[in-house]
């Protein structure tokens, strides 16, 4: 029996404009599916509605995928693919499996010999790097940096050293309600001439992306409260 495929379906970064942001092929393939692995069912239904999904939303099969999902459940989600049916993974925002629990699902799919197909769509990490003016030849994404303040300060200093010595862009993020805290710590820790890119609300109507020296950022007023943001040190 031919196995089905596992499609990785990107969605908008701010819950808007998917019809203009996503390629037609991504939307077309998503329209053909009726079984999805999703981080949150409510968010997934809203996304499908925004891309004018043609089938009744109540008839969908939605499997929850989050940090509480057991491995046994994840393996069970692949039964349809093993039986020849195509299934999609939908992230909360951006690309599945990138800073996202979908990676564990993709790993299991490869182990089961299921073809994994990534579809084109927005990635806040790459879009921030593209717009930062910093090195796209050598870069690293750290995800969320340490919560402990002393460890976080050490981590920021190490990122600054790596940015300078390796000429490597250092990309990281924070939960939106702690954006101001992490920005203040970067500004108080890094050298005045070190460059920092702050990219918030990427791809939505109030997007703001700016790269400045630490010294210049200290003179800048910026509201990042509860705004999804990516930071790049270079």
DSSP-derived 3-state class of residue 48:
helix
| Same domain? 185 vs 168 | yes
| Same domain? 9 vs 78 | yes
The answer, as to whether pTM is greater than 0.85, is yes
- Per-residue pLDDT at 89: 97
| Structural domain count, the chain | 2
Alpha carbon distance 116, 137 (integer Å): 26
63-77: pLDDT as tens digits: 999 878 888 899 999
136, 164 Cβ separation under 8 angstroms: no
| Same domain? 130 vs 145 | yes
Confidence at 15, pLDDT banded by 50, 70, 90: low
C-alpha dist (Å) from residue 134 to 36, 163, 197: 36, 10, 9
| Same domain? 31 vs 108 | yes
The range of the structural domain enclosing residue 157 comes to 124-233
| Same domain? 214 vs 193 | yes
169-199: pLDDT as tens digits: 999 999 999 999 999 999 999 999 999 999 9
| Same domain? 40 vs 129 | no
| Same domain? 211 vs 150 | yes
The enclosing H or E element of 229 equals: strand 229-233
CATH number of the domain within which 216 lies: 3.30.950.10
Pairing of strands 195-200, 208-213: antiparallel
27-52: pLDDT as tens digits: 999 999 999 999 999 999 999 999 99
| Same domain? 64 vs 34 | yes
| Same domain? 32 vs 92 | yes
Among 68, 86, 118, which residue terminates a domain? 118
Among 96, 118, 140, which residue terminates a domain? 118
- Per-residue pLDDT at 18: 82
| Same domain? 55 vs 144 | no
| Same domain? 105 vs 14 | yes
82-135: pLDDT as tens digits: 999 999 999 888 899 998 888 999 999 999 999 999 999 999 999 999 999 999
The enclosing H or E element of 141 equals: strand 139-144
120, 23 Cβ separation under 8 angstroms: yes
221-230: pLDDT as tens digits: 999 999 999 9
The mean pLDDT value for 191-212 works out to 95
| Same domain? 83 vs 136 | no
Long-range contacts, stretch 45-54, CB < 8 angstroms, 24+ apart = 46/15, 47/11, 47/12, 47/15, 47/18, 47/90, 48/90, 50/12, 50/15, 50/16, 50/18, 50/19, 51/18, 51/19, 51/22, 51/27, 52/19, 52/27
Among 118, 135, 159, which residue terminates a domain? 118
Pairing of strands 5-9, 115-118: parallel
CATH number of the domain within which 80 lies: 3.40.1010.10
The enclosing H or E element of 127 equals: helix 124-132
């Amino acid at each position: 029996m031919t196995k089905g495929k596992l499609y990785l379906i990107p969605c908008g970064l701010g819950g808007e404009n998917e019809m203009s942001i996503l390629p037609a092929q991504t939307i077309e393939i998503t329209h053909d599916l009726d079984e999805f692995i999703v981080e949150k069912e409510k968010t997934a239904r809203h996304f499908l509605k925004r891309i004018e999904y043609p089938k009744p939303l109540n008839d969908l099969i939605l499997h929850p995928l989050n940090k509480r999902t057991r491995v046994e459940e994840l393996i069970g989600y692949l039964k349809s693919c093993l039986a020849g049916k195509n299934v999609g993974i939908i992230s909360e925002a951006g690309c599945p499996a990138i800073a996202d629990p979908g990676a564990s699902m993709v790993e299991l799919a490869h182990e089961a010999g299921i073809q994994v197909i990534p579809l084109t769509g927005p990635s806040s990490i790459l879009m921030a790097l593209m717009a930062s003016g910093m090195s796209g030849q050598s870069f690293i994404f750290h995800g969320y940096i340490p919560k402990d303040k002393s460890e976080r300060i050490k981590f920021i200093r190490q990122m600054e050293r790596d940015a300078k010595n390796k000429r490597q862009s250092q990309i990281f993020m924070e939960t939106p309600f702690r954006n101001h805290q992490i920005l203040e710590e970067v500004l108080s820790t890094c050298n005045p001439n070190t460059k920092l890119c702050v990219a918030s609300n990427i791809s939505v109507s109030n997007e703001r992306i700016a790269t400045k020296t630490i010294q210049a950022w200290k003179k800048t007023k910026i509201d990042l409260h509860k705004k999804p943001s990516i930071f790049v040190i270079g």
